[in-house]
Chain A
C-alpha cells in the first residue's frame, strides 16, 4: 500500500479521497488555490500546498506546480478525483515519469476512451452496441438505404459539427433529400465542410451507466447500474439512482455483461463507468466510458456495500480485486441529489458568494458528501456542486420518502441552490413511477407540457 497520496482536486471529492486514505492508513497531501485557502480539504489532509491563484489553469490544472508539490511532499501516488486532470493522459504520463503512480487507468486507456470515435469503434469491435451511424452521405439513395435499415426517425449530423449546426431530425423518408440539402448547406456555411452522416435518433432515451472495477491482473467485475436520466438542459446530471427503476431484468443483465466485456476488451484497470443510452424499444447503445471515479459513485457504494474509492487506491497499489462477481448484490435502493449553487429558475445559472447558515440533514439512511460549512465562501471559479445528498432505504418508494424528508431538513443560506428543483422532481408522479428520460426534466418539470404548448402556439 502507498504511504502517502497527493489529492489533485478540491471540494467534496478531495475530502472523499482523503477520507478513504485515512481509513486505509495512508497519509494525504492536499493542494489548493488561493481562493481555497479557507476550504476544508487542505485542513483534512496531513499536509497542504498552495499551487496557484484562483484560476484553474494556474492552480488545479497547473501540472508543474502539482508535480513539484508531490516531489516536496514525497508522495507515492496522485489521486486526480474527477474533472480537472482526471482524464488527462498527458498528466498520467507525467506522473509516471516522475515516479508517482496515477490512481486511475493506464494513460493508454485515457487516450483511447478520450477519443469518442476510436472508443466507439473499439466497443463495436467488442460486440457492444453503439448508436448506428452511416458513413458520409454520398447520395440520397445511400442515405435512404441506411435510414430504412435502422428505422426512422434519423438524425443528420455534420462531420465537422458542433453546437447543433448542420443537424436535422428527419421523421419520414419523403423528407430525407430536403433535410440532407439543408443540413449540408448549413454545415458548409458554418464549418466550411458540407459533409454529413446519419445516425439513428433515439426517442426519449434513458441514461443508464454501469460501474466497473478492474484490477491490473485482468479481473473485471461490474457493480451494478445507475440511472442518471434526470439531467439539466445542459446534459449535466442532477439526480441519480440505483437500481434503475422499471428496467427489464434481461436488459439489465445484458447491460451489465456488455460493460464487463467492454472493460475486458480494452484491458481496462481501476474504476470506470460505461454510459449507455437505453431506447424506448429496449435497445441500448454505448455512449462513452468515463475513466475515473464519478460524482454519483456513493449511491453504488451504499447499495452494494463497497468502497469504490478505496478500491481505486488498492488497485493502483497493485492489490488484487478480491471481490467476486457473485458477491455483488444490491441491497435496497439509493438516490443522490446534487445540491448545486445554481438557480434552477434561471437556466441553472451558477451563484457564488459567502454562505450564511448551513444546516445539513442526517438521520437513518442519509449520507452527505460535502465541503461546505456555515460562513464558507463559494468561489465563482469552480464547479457549482456544494453537496451530494444520498438517501438509502429498503425500497425505491421508501427512499423517495426519505429523500423528501432529508431535503426538507436542508438549509443552505446565502446562495440559490438546487434543493427546490429536487423537491419538485420528487413530487412528480412520473418520477415516482420511474418514467423518466434524458429530456424529462426540461420537458416535464422546467417547462411543463401545457406551458410548452402555449409557447409553441404563439
Chain B
C-alpha cells in the first residue's frame, strides 16, 4: 500500500492509472494463480507489492472425543454462548432452541430474566428469507437467561433461551426418528 502511494505522488495521476491498468491488474491475476505469497515489482513507472493473506488455521489439530462432546457447535462459535445452561450445582435447565436458520430479533418487549412465562408466549423472532418465524415458549416456565442478542445469526438447534420448567421436560417439536437397526435403501441414488 505504501508503495502505491509513493508511485502516486511521484507521477501524474493519469500515469498511475495507466500503470494500474496495464501492469498491476494483469499482474494481480497472475499472482492469484501462482503459489507465491508475496511479489514486489519495480518498473520505471512505479512499483507495487502484492501479498496474500496467510493461510487460515484449519482447526483440525485435535479430534479427541472428550473435547468434541463439549463443543456445542462445529468449532466456529460466532458469538460466545453464555455458559449458564449447566445452571446451579445439581440442577439442569432446559433450552429453547432455534428451529430455523436465520437472524434472531428481539420483540419490542422482550422477556426478562426471572419472568414466569406462560406456554405459547412470544419470545422473539428468527428472520429468514424475509420471513419472521416466531419463537414461542413451548411450556409454562421461568426464564433463566436469554443467550442470543438481537441481530445475532443463529443456526438450527442453537439455544436461544435457558428456562426452568420445574422438572417437566420440554415437549420436543418433533420426536427424533429412532435409528433403525438395519437401514434398507429401497432405491439408492445412482451417483
Judged by a CB distance under 8 angstroms, whether B106 is at the interface is no
Chain A residues, Cβ within 8 Å of B183: 350, 352, 380
Given known A68-B129, A373-B63, contact A43–B101 (CB-CB < 8 A): no
Task: Answer whether residue B83 sits at the interface, using C-beta atoms and an 8 A cutoff.
Answer: no
- Shortest beta-carbon distance, A21 to chain B, in Å? 11
Select one of B156, B177, B191 contacting A55, CB under 8 A.
B177
Chain A residues positioned under 8 Å from B58 (CB to CB): 43-44
Give A37 to B188 CA distance when docked, in angstroms.
24
Write out the residue numbers on chain A whose beta carbons fall within 8 Å of the beta carbon of B100: 64-65, 68
Interface string of B166-191 (1 = CB under 8 A from A): 00000000101101101101011111
Interface: B134 (CB within 8 A) = no
Decide: A43 and B74 in contact? CB cutoff 8 A: yes
Question: B60–A64 contact, CB under 8 A?
Answer: no
Q: Determine whether the beta carbon of A64 is less than 8 Å from that of B155.
A: no
Is B65 in the interface zone, CB < 8 Å from A? yes
Instruction: Name which residue of chain B comes closest to A375, CB basis.
Output: B65
Instruction: Look across to chain A and name the residue whose beta carbon is closest to the beta carbon of B72.
Output: A37
The DSSP consensus for interface residues of chain B is loop
Query: Given the interface contacts A44-B60, A82-B191, A294-B191, does A50 sit within 8 Å of B157 by beta carbon?
Result: yes
Decide: B129 and A235 in contact? CB cutoff 8 A.
Answer: no
Measured CA separation A347–B157 after assembly (Å): 37
Does B42 interact with chain A (Cβ within 8 Å)?
no
Q: Are A68 and B65 in contact (CB under 8 A)?
A: no
Bin chain A's interface residue count: 35 or more
**Chain A 24-47 near chain B by CB (<8 Å), digits 1 or 0:** 010000101010011010111011
Decide yes or no: A349 and B76 within 8 Å by CB, A44-B60, A72-B101, A373-B63 being known contacts.
no
Picked from B32, B102, B190, the residue with its CB within 8 Å of the CB of A72 is B102
CB B188 to nearest CB in A, in angstroms, measures 6
Q: Return chain A residues, CB-CB under 8 Å to B60.
A: 40, 43-44
Query: A420: CB under 8 A from chain B?
Result: no
Does B1 touch A at the CB level, under 8 Å?
no
Q: Compute how far the CA of A383 lies from the CA of B52 in the bound complex, rounded to whole angstroms.
A: 37
Residue of B nearest to A86 (CB): B191
Supposing A43-B75, A68-B129, A72-B153 touch, asked if A51 and B188 sit within 8 A by C-beta, the answer is no
Instruction: Name the one of B74, B174, B191 contacting A383, with C-beta atoms under 8 angstroms.
Output: B191
Tell me the chain B residues, 55-88 only, with Cβ under 8 Å from chain A.
55-56, 58-60, 63, 65, 68, 71, 73-76, 78
Q: Is A412 close to B, CB under 8 A? A: no
- The docked-state distance in angstroms from the alpha carbon of A53 to that of B175 is 11
In the bound complex, do residue B129 and residue A64 qualify as a contact, i.e. CB atoms below 8 Å apart? yes
CB distance from B16 to the nearest CB of A (A): 25
Verify B191–A50 contact, CB threshold 8 A.
no
B103 at the interface (CB under 8 A from A): yes
Rounded to whole Å, the gap between the CB of B75 and the closest CB of chain A is 5
Neighbouring A residues of B156 by C-beta, 8 Å:
34, 49-53, 59, 65
Given known pairs A55-B177, A236-B191, A383-B191, the reply for A30 and B74 (CB within 8 Å) is yes
Once A46-B56, A53-B156 are accepted as A-B contacts, the answer to whether A380 and B101 lie under 8 Å apart by CB is no
Residues 51 to 77 of chain A near chain B (Cβ within 8 Å)? 51-55, 59, 64-69, 71-72
Residues in A with CB closer than 8 Å to B182 are 349
Asked if A83 is at the interface of the complex by the 8 Å CB criterion, the answer is yes
In the complex, whether A1 has a CB less than 8 A from a CB of chain B is yes
Contact A72 B74 (CB under 8 A): no
The 3 residue pairs across chains A and B that have the minimum distance between CB atoms: A42-B74, A48-B74, A68-B128
Chain B interface residues toward A at CB < 8 A: 32, 52, 55-56, 58-60, 63, 65, 68, 71, 73-76, 78, 100-103, 128-129, 153, 155-158, 174, 176-177, 179-180, 182-183, 185, 187-191
Given contacts A50-B74, A53-B176, A71-B129, 14 further A-B contacts (CB under 8 A): A37-B73, A40-B60, A42-B74, A43-B75, A47-B78, A49-B101, A49-B155, A50-B155, A65-B100, A65-B101, A82-B191, A349-B182, A375-B65, A380-B179
Contact sample, A vs B, 26 pairs, CB 8 Å cutoff = A37-B73, A37-B74, A42-B74, A43-B59, A43-B74, A48-B73, A50-B156, A53-B174, A55-B177, A59-B156, A64-B101, A65-B101, A66-B101, A69-B155, A72-B101, A72-B103, A82-B191, A236-B188, A237-B190, A237-B191, A295-B191, A352-B183, A375-B63, A375-B65, A380-B180, A380-B183
